[in-house]
Amino acid sequence: MSVTELRPNMEHWQERVDMAAAFRWAERLNWHEGVANHFSLAVNEEGTQFLMNRNQVHFSRIKASELLLVDANDPETLNGPDAPDPTAWGLHGGIHRHCPHARCVMHVHSIFATVLASLADSSLPPIDQNCATFFNRYVIDDGYGGLAFEDEGERCATLLTDPKKKVMIMGNHGVLVIGNSVADTFNRLYYFERAAETYIRALQTGQPLRVLPDDIAEKTARELEEYPEQDERHLAELKAILDDERSTYAT
């Protein structure tokens, strides 16, 4: 029996397993920020009930069975004995409350995305295939207002109303990625960090950049959006590696 089948009767079990795998792999890629940062996944049709990580648990220790299930419309959420981190509640609650197309939300302070977010011009030019993936598909938040408590979370949610734009480069902060599923969102986060790294390292050479024409960048982005099952296969392979290692993520 696979470890992903150990608790088939727990509510939203497969979604929990996918989430836990994404957390574990994010830690391996050094995208964690100590015990900060959060992922969430909507589990009802309206998108207001969602799974998310518990307050201040390291990504490397997150288990499927220990994820929180909260409701963005429940004002008593922060008063419970197992309340989420207030900034996670503010940011993710605001987005799930106002952006039903954001089924999954991943926010990290990964190194290269955060370097990009720290530049006066945080745009990502299409200098390679990975960068072209995000052509016309991100927004830049240049209004950082401090920790993402409820007011800040509500403000950020207003920047994600266009379903085409699934990455928010959070100026002076980090990156936030949305998607249709854990696989879709993690895959997008993975390639955004790769793209940001390519761009930052290209800038470090001091040489002129070879930027793709807009029509080719848009064509490439569309082709990658339509590439079959790449996101699902990516996550499946990561879970297979964790399973081979007898990881506890799916417990």
**Is pLDDT above 70 for 8?**
no
**Mean pLDDT score across all residues of the chain:** 94
Spatial neighbors of 124 by CB under 8 A, at least 6 apart, are 116, 131, 134, 138, 169, 195, 196, 199
Among the ranges given (36-50, 67-81, 87-101), the one the predictor scored with the smallest mean pLDDT: 67-81
Question: For 38-54, what is the mean pLDDT?
Answer: 96
Report how far Cα 45 is from the mean position of its chain's Cα atoms. Answer: 20
Q: How confident is the model at residue 1 (pLDDT cuts 50, 70, 90)?
A: very low
Question: For 111-137, what is the mean pLDDT?
Answer: 98
The pLDDT value given to residue 4: 47
**Is pLDDT above 60 for 27?**
yes
Give residue 115's identity as a one-letter amino acid code.
V
Q: Which domain holds residue 110?
A: 3-244
> Is residue 249 a part of any domain in this protein?
no
Alpha-carbon gap, residue 173 to 169, rounded angstroms: 8
Q: How confident is the model at residue 6 (pLDDT cuts 50, 70, 90)?
A: low
Residue with tokens 């290269």: 112
> Is residue 140 a part of any domain in this protein?
yes
Among the ranges given (145-154, 200-209, 233-242), the one the predictor scored with the smallest mean pLDDT: 145-154
Among the ranges given (47-56, 150-159, 170-179, 239-248), the one the predictor scored with the smallest mean pLDDT: 150-159
> Is residue 251 a part of any domain in this protein?
no
Cα-Cα-Cα-Cα torsion 198, 126, 219, 223, nearest 10 degrees, comes to: 20
CATH of the domain at 144: 3.40.225.10
**Is pLDDT above 60 for 3?**
no
Closest CA relative to residue 181, chosen from 43, 26, 29: 43
Question: For 202-229, what is the mean pLDDT?
Answer: 96
Give strand pairing partners of 41.
51, 104
Question: For 6-17, what is the mean pLDDT?
Answer: 83
Q: How many domains are there within the chain? A: 1
Question: For 122-148, what is the mean pLDDT?
Answer: 94
Give strand pairing partners of 138.
167
The pLDDT value given to residue 153: 83
Q: In what order do the strands lie in the sheet with 38-42?
A: 68-71, 49-52, 38-42, 104-108, 174-179, 167-170, 138-141
> Is residue 57 a part of any domain in this protein?
yes
The pLDDT value given to residue 83: 85
Model confidence pLDDT, tens digit, residues 138-149: 999 998 987 767
Number of residues assigned to the chain: 251
Q: How many CA atoms lie within 13 A of 164 on its CB side?
A: 8
Among the ranges given (4-18, 41-55, 74-88), the one the predictor scored with the smallest mean pLDDT: 4-18
Asked if residues 26 and 48 have their Cβ atoms less than 8 Å apart, the reply is no
What is the model's pTM?
A: 0.94
The pLDDT value given to residue 76: 87
Alpha-carbon gap, residue 234 to 129, rounded angstroms: 18
The pLDDT value given to residue 191: 98
